Amino acid sequence: MHLYLAQHGQAKTENEDPDRPLTEQGVDDVARVARHAVEQLGVRPTRVIHSGKTRARQTAEIWGGLLDADVEQADGLSPNDDPTPWVERIDVEADDVLLVGHLPHLAALAAALLTGRSDHSLISFRQAGLVGLERTDQGWVVAMVLPPT
C-alpha cells in the first residue's frame, strides 16, 4: 500500500481572502507536480482525501481530476490535528490513498508512521509537493519525495 501526502499549494494570505484559496502559482505548482507524479512516476491512488479547507480542497480537486479518482473531505487533517487517528485508519487501508493537508499535521503523520513518534520530524514538506510512503513487511518507508520545482 502506498500513502501519498500532499501539502496544499501556495494560498492567498488571510488578508487577501479569508477563505485562503490557491494563488495562480499554487494552482500551477499543484498541476505540474500532479502531472509529473501520474505520468512519469505512476502515482495512482484510488481516493483523494482532503481537510476541507479551501486550499486543500482545491489541491485535491486538481489531483482528483487528473486521476479520475474520488475526492472526499475527512476530519482530522487540519494543521494542528493529532495524527494518531489517521495512523490507525491507514493501518487498515488496503488501497493507495492520497491525503491533502497542511503542516504541521502532515509532517507529524509521516513521522508517526515512520518512527512511531509524531514529534520526530523527518521530512521537509513544501507547498504543492508530494511525499510517498510505502508500507512494507518491516514497516513504513519513504518511497518518494517530489518537490514543486
- What pLDDT, in 10s, does the model give residues 97-114? 999 999 999 999 999 999
> Among 100, 60, 59, 107, which residue's Cα sits nearest to residue 83?
107
At residue 4 the predicted structure's pLDDT band, cuts being 50, 70 and 90, is very high
33-37, 82-86, 95-99, 120-124, range with the lowest pLDDT: 120-124
| Of 96, 97, 122, 89, the residue nearest 108 (C-alpha) | 122
Q: Which residue has the cell 481572502?
A: 17
> The pTM is what?
0.96
**Grid coordinates in use for 43?**
502515482
Kind and range of the H or E run holding 54 = helix 54-67
Q: How far is CA 90 from CA 11, 121, 140, in A?
A: 27, 19, 11
Domains, the chain, with CATH or none? 2-146 (3.40.50.1240)
Angle, helices 54-67/24-41, rounded to nearest 10 degrees: 30
Cell numbers of 114, please? 515512520
